[in-house]
Amino acid sequence: MKIAALQMVSTPRVEDNLATAVRLIGQAAAAGACWVVLPEYFCLMGHNDRDKLAIAEAVGTGPIQQMLSDAARQHGVWVIGGTLPIRSDDADHVFNACCVYGPDGTLAARYDKIHLFCFDNGRERYDEGRVLRAGTQPVALSGIAAGDGAGAPLPTVPAAAPLRVGLSICYDLRFPELYRALMSMPGQPPCDLIAVPAAFTHTTGQAHWELLLRARAVENQCYVIAAAQGGLHENGRRTWGHSMVIDPWGQVIAVLAEGEGVVLADLDLERLAAVRTQLPALTHRRIG
């Protein structure tokens, strides 16, 4: 099964960013991807934090959500829609929401970022809490791939074995307890894939991005797909990029360092099962 992380260098213009996202989703689908992941803030990298408030959408309506739905349906793929601002009941704060659309264009899941980034090294300062409201609930979903982007069936993904996908966003990556919760939801199997849309700063990304992603893959014995912002943005911010896919043994199997593009990789369910059988660490948990 092919999966794709889409790397962008988003601008302060929503229309331009949506056009880029549509084009990259099409490229990924044409290459055979049945799950595609956009980066955090794919729709806007504004000049200041409050720019998010101006483009925030109500639940279920608006051009950003419509684009994600239309692209998923047009190409017959699952779209993990990075993040977009969803209105809250407070005019000064929005949710940083990851919306997932199935191949028929319907909303399959929504996750609101739980952990809000705050960083100050004297030169760079960020505090997402100034405009974002934190989510409260871990979210995972199960989805069956419907095709390869061209309507062809995928016999390697039987109806009895849907892919189990856990959702997280950027700064969440530093909190392993979230991923443990995703792997042990009552009545559900462990996740096969964890998605991490992100916009890591260059400073923190250079130090910790790959390290944390590989740790999450190894400790949860699952694939990790991380779609990032990657480059110098018009607002002067520089993001780390290095969108990648990591296998359950912690090996990076595909990566794009910087700039716009598609990171394509194969998700091998037999490989995942073999890792969990040979080293059954998930069954050895004693705490939590």
Residue carrying structure tokens 């943005």: 233
Question: 203 CB contacts (<8 Å, ≥6 apart)?
Answer: 121, 124
Cα separation, 96 vs 171, whole angstroms: 12
Tell me if 252 sits within 8 A of 225, measured CB to CB.
Answer: no
Total residues belonging to the chain: 288
Digits of tens for pLDDT over the chain (288 positions)? Answer: 999 999 999 999 999 999 999 999 999 999 999 999 999 999 999 999 999 999 999 999 999 999 999 999 999 999 999 999 999 999 999 999 999 999 999 999 999 999 999 988 887 778 999 999 999 999 999 998 755 444 433 333 334 458 999 999 999 999 999 999 999 999 999 999 999 999 999 999 999 999 999 999 999 999 999 999 999 999 999 999 999 999 999 999 999 999 999 999 999 999 999 999 999 999 999 987
pLDDT of residue 144: 86
What is the sign of the dihedral through the CA atoms of 237, 243, 248 and 252? negative
- 99 has catalytic annotation: no
Q: From the candidates 34, 98, 99, 170, which is the catalytic residue? A: 170
pLDDT of residue 151: 41
Cα separation, 56 vs 38, whole angstroms: 18
Query: Token pair for residue 60?
Result: 């279920």
- 170 has catalytic annotation: yes
pLDDT of residue 161: 59
- 219 has catalytic annotation: no
Cα separation, 19 vs 235, whole angstroms: 19
Q: From the candidates 40, 57, 128, 258, which is the catalytic residue? A: 40
H helix or E strand, kind and range, residue 211: helix 210-220
Q: Which domains does the chain have, with CATH numbers?
A: 2-284 (3.60.110.10)
pLDDT of residue 156: 37
Q: From the candidates 43, 98, 99, 113, which is the catalytic residue? A: 113
